[in-house]
Structure 1
Amino acid sequence: MSPPSAVGSYQLPDLLSHFQDYHELSINGYCRAASLASEKWVLDIAQEKLGSPALSLLPFIDRLPSMKLGLLGACSFPSCDLTQLILMMDFCTLIVLDTEGLLRSNPPITSHWGLGNDTSNSGYVEVLQTHPVLQRLLTRLSRLQNSTTESWQRRFTSSIVAFRHSRQKAIDYRREGTALAHLEIEEYIGFRRDLSGIPFILDLMEAVEGLELDIPPCNDDLSTLRCLVGDIIVLTWDVFSYNIDQSIDNKINIVSLLQSKREIALVHSIKEAGDLIFQRIDAFKSLEKSLLSSMGASPSDRESDSGATALNSLWNNFTGLFSAAEKPNNPHPSVTDFQAHDIALYIRALKDCLVGFLHWAYETDIFFGTKGDTVKGFGWVFLLPPPNRHAETTA
């Protein structure tokens, strides 16, 4: 297919090719059952008409099936059992709808999540109680207090608080109508990562799967891997969302920021954004290889534990990683087989999230409407009219 005219179109970076022969897409076998249950739950909340908090979900009622958020969950968390998958779907759906409503509402919405309460000494239950929609998950999430460590609970709480504050910043940015040019690129990426909710989605995945990852020798590397996954997803989300964002004058987008800061054309800002994504994919692969090979891991007896998670069934897939790679002469003495087992499974789960998101992005209508297959095949996107053109055509 010959490329379209450079005027009014652009080509997306080829991200899927970076995962060929690296990690295959898996889809949870409970996809349909969990999707139906989750979608019904979300629709019930949206239709309760509890005032402005509920109204934030109403615009999505008709679109919810075509957004395919259940498929996102099934592609991202293929090893969860049915109950786990429904929880992850419910959580992700509320976060995506909340963020999409914030970024694409016109005029920009006001916050339903008050920032006046002091959360410095609060746990995640107390923080989530202040959100009118996310609090609906508290009955299920509060049970994790009995099965998670204090360090995980602190990290989960910090991730939620960061999401809460970034949300208010995003509301302020949209009201001001600025291009966020005062933010440095890395500063924007951190803000966008927090706004996406991905950090605490990954935290929740860790707890749901029953993984224990408070491992001091590896904590920094695991934190870096989490950040890289968040960066890759939000930068991809921005690049894929740019066409719609520019058509509604939403400046919270890495492509818009690069255009403003670098004073470069669209084609160059798309390429630079793609380079940022590729750099992080390569960094993830490099750190994964380094971390796994440094552990000299071997299967643990945990697989036979009746309390083992659904991910344990995948452990045998990892033995090839360690046998194929040259084991170090002196594996890290402070990392046990038990811990190495959980680290390897967690890395697998992070890759599931990356690959699952990338494949889902072409199936949902959030980014490309009904043209996802065409965009996936050829990579070209035709620009929608900017806001002033919309006004002219509707006048």
Structure 2
Amino acid sequence: MSPTTSMAPTATYVTTHPDCELEVFMLPDLVSNCHYPLRLNPHHDAVSQVSEEWLLTGAHLIEPRITQFMGLHASKLAAACYPDVDAFRLRVCTDFLNWLFTMDDWLERSDVDYILGMHERCISAFCDPINFQTEAPGVKMCKSYLSRFRESAVPGCTERFIHRMDLFFMAVVQEVDERAKGRAHDLESYIALRRNTSCDLPCFALIEYAAQINLPDEVMSHPVIMAMEEAVNDLVAWSNDMFSYNVEQSRGDTHNIIMVIMHEHGLDLQGAMEYCGGLCKDTIQRFEDNRAIVPSWGKEIDEQVVIYVGGLQDWIVGSLHWSFDSTRYFGKDGHIVKQDRIIKLLLKRPCKA
């Protein structure tokens, strides 16, 4: 069985006015295109408090970063994406997501040398969280959650997690290097890089850990399974780009699919949003088309595959709804934006001398 893939839809929108004249824009209706049930882990409240205290202590955050972190609500993302896991494993998943968002913010404000150094230390901590010694706060937190992760994670899941984290760090190095050199992406090359800068793939490895399943490499490397992961990865990354566009354009960031689409297809902002909405709708169809042709590896493995695919589905719906619950993208107006989808365009910040 061949996995189903999809090309970008044909652009049908035209530039009608420059974006400097826009005061508002509208998000595509992604929520209505997602019909999967949203579930929340019952251990969420207890785990959330402990994990937030763990991050604040370990990362040594100060204001305004503390307020920003508390509004992130990454624990709710974990609870929605891993709704059936027990409290111990939910804590590991929640710690990872809290750490990941904090690390991502640190790396965005850094240069290539810093990221390479952080990459080397974090991977060393992942490989040997007990014996590797470090005083770096971000790496010490790696040791903390990975030591608990490795207590029950099977070797295949552990290897996949570490390999995918390696891909994430190296993709961020590429992103930062290209940004410093003023290089721009076409849509195809941007998508390829974004699939790793999103850091979704390590989160998918945690589905195996959370469900306590042991999928062999022949399953995880099968083209149909990989196509489903790719579809979910694309949806989470591209929808995130739409949600974060307003903040990112205001501060001059360019690593965003909306900006790439506007440049490549000559679209205005609203046209690019609708174009990307079509891409996101297509990812769900890709996911379902591939789910329909998942092969069989025998009863025992097939039951685990069903659980894993269900975990990918939880990531689709969980990440989508969480984006409006967090203050990361829409401040305190997420519930309003979720309903009317209207966003006031932020003014660009003045460049620092």
TM-score range, shorter chain: 0.7 to 0.9
* Alignment partners' CA distance in 1, 2:105 and 2:151: 33
For 2:195 and 2:119, locate their aligned partners in 1 and report how far apart those are by CA, in whole Å: 23
SS of 2:196's equivalent in the other structure is helix
Question: Greater relative contact order: 1 or 2 (C-alpha under 8 angstroms, separation 6 or more)?
Answer: 2
Q: Return the TM-score normalized by structure 2.
A: 0.83
Distance apart, 1:115 and its partner CA: 5.1
Equivalent residue number for residue 59 of structure 2: 46
Residue 255 of structure 1 deviates from its aligned partner by 0.6
1:10 is paired with a residue of what secondary structure?
strand
Q: Distance in 2 between matches of 1:264 and 1:90?
A: 40
Q: Distance in 1 between matches of 2:267 and 2:40?
A: 40
The 3 A distance-change label for structure 1 pair 111 and 198 is farther
Q: 2:247 aligns with which of 221, 244, 250?
A: 244
Aligned partner of 1:371 in structure 2 is 333
Unpaired segments ≥5 residues, structure 2: 1-20
Could you tell me which residue of structure 1 aligns to residue 170 of structure 2? 165
Aligned partner of 1:96 in structure 2 is 101
> Do the aligned residues in 2 keep the contact of 1:362 with 1:375 (CA within 8 Å)?
yes
Tell me whether 1:263 sits opposite 2:278 in the alignment.
Answer: no
Deviation at 1:142, TM superposition (A): 4.2
Q: What's the C-alpha RMSD, in Å, of the aligned pairs?
A: 2.9
Q: TM-score, normalised by structure 1?
A: 0.75
Are the counterparts in 1 of residues 119 and 169 from structure 2 also a CA contact under 8 Å? no
Q: How far off is 1:83 after superposition?
A: 0.7
Give, in whole Å, the separation in 1 of the partners of 2:46 and 2:194. 32
Q: Does 1:17 align with 2:32?
A: yes
Deviation of the 1:371 alpha carbon: 1.1
1:281-360 pair list within 5 angstroms: 281-291=284-294, 294=295, 332=296, 335-360=297-322
Tell me if structure 2 keeps the 8 A contact 1:375–1:381. yes
Instruction: Name the structure 1 match of 2:209.
Output: 207
Describe the shift of the 1:83–1:153 C-alpha distance in structure 2 as closer, same or farther (beyond 3 A).
closer
Partners of 2:244 and 2:311 lie apart in 1 by 25
Q: 1:371 to 1:288 in 2, by over 3 A?
A: same
1:175-254 equivalent positions in 2, closer than 5 A: 175-176=180-181, 178=182, 180-181=183-184, 183-214=185-216, 216=218, 219-254=222-257
Give the residue type in structure 2 aligned to 1:164: F
The CA distance in 2 between the partners of 1:386 and 1:143, in whole Å, is: 43
Cα distance, 1:225 vs structure 2: 1.5
Q: Give, in whole Å, the separation in 1 of the partners of 2:176 and 2:160.
A: 25
Contact 2:211/2:307 (8 A) holds in 1 = no
The count of corresponding residues between Structure 1 and Structure 2 is 327
Question: Kindly, what percent of the aligned residue pairs are identical?
Answer: 24
1:361 to 303, 310, 323: 323
TM-superposed CA distance for 1:344, in Å, is: 0.6
Distance 1:26 1:376 in 2: 18
CA 123–141 in structure 1, closer or farther in 2 if over 3 Å, else same: closer
Specify the SS of the correspondent of 2:332: coil
Residues 72 and 356 of structure 1 are in contact (CA less than 8 Å); yes or no, is this contact kept in structure 2?
A: yes
Mapped partners of 2:173, 2:277: distance in 1: 28
**Conserved? CA contact 2:125–2:142, under 8 Å:** no
- Relative distance call for 1:154 and 1:186 in structure 2 (3 A) is farther
2:164–2:202 Cα contact (<8 Å) kept: yes
The structure that has the greater radius of gyration is 1
Q: CA deviation at 1:271?
A: 1.5
Pick aligned residue for 1:275 from 262, 278, 299: 278
CA contact (8 A) 1:95 1:196 kept: no
After superposition, the Cα gap between the structure-2 partners of 1:387 and 1:26, relative to the gap in structure 1 and judged at 3 Å, is same
Alpha-carbon contact 1:247-1:386 (below 8 Å) kept: yes
AA paired with 1:193? Answer: R
- Aligned partners of 1:258, 1:16: CA distance in 2, in Å? 22
Number of the residue aligned with 1:384? 346
Aligned equivalents of 1:152 and 1:371: distance in 2? Answer: 38
Q: Is the 8 A contact 1:145 1:153 kept in 2?
A: yes
2:203 counterpart letter in structure 1: I
Q: Which residue of the partner structure matches residue 313 of structure 1?
A: none
Quote the residue 2:48 is aligned against: 35
1:7 partnered with 2:44: no
Task: After superposition, give the CA deviation of every residue in 1:204-228 in whole Å (9 maximum; x if it has no partner).
Answer: 2312321122263672222221222
1:138 aligns to what? Answer: 143
Q: 2:127 aligns with which of 125, 128, 152?
A: 125
Aligned residue in 1 for 2:73: 68
Residues in 2 aligned to 1:358 and 1:154: alpha-carbon distance in whole angstroms: 28
Amino acid across the alignment from 1:81: D
Between the aligned partners of 2:223 and 2:140, the Cα distance in structure 1 is: 31
Cα separation, partners in 2 of 1:156 and 1:196, compared to 1, 3 Å: same
Q: CA deviation at 1:135?
A: 4.2
Q: How big is each residue's C-alpha offset from its partner over 1:130-164, in whole Å with a ceiling of 9 and x where there is no partner?
A: 87514423354246557555544433222111111
| Structure 1 Cα separation of the partners of residues 325 and 166 of structure 2 | 31
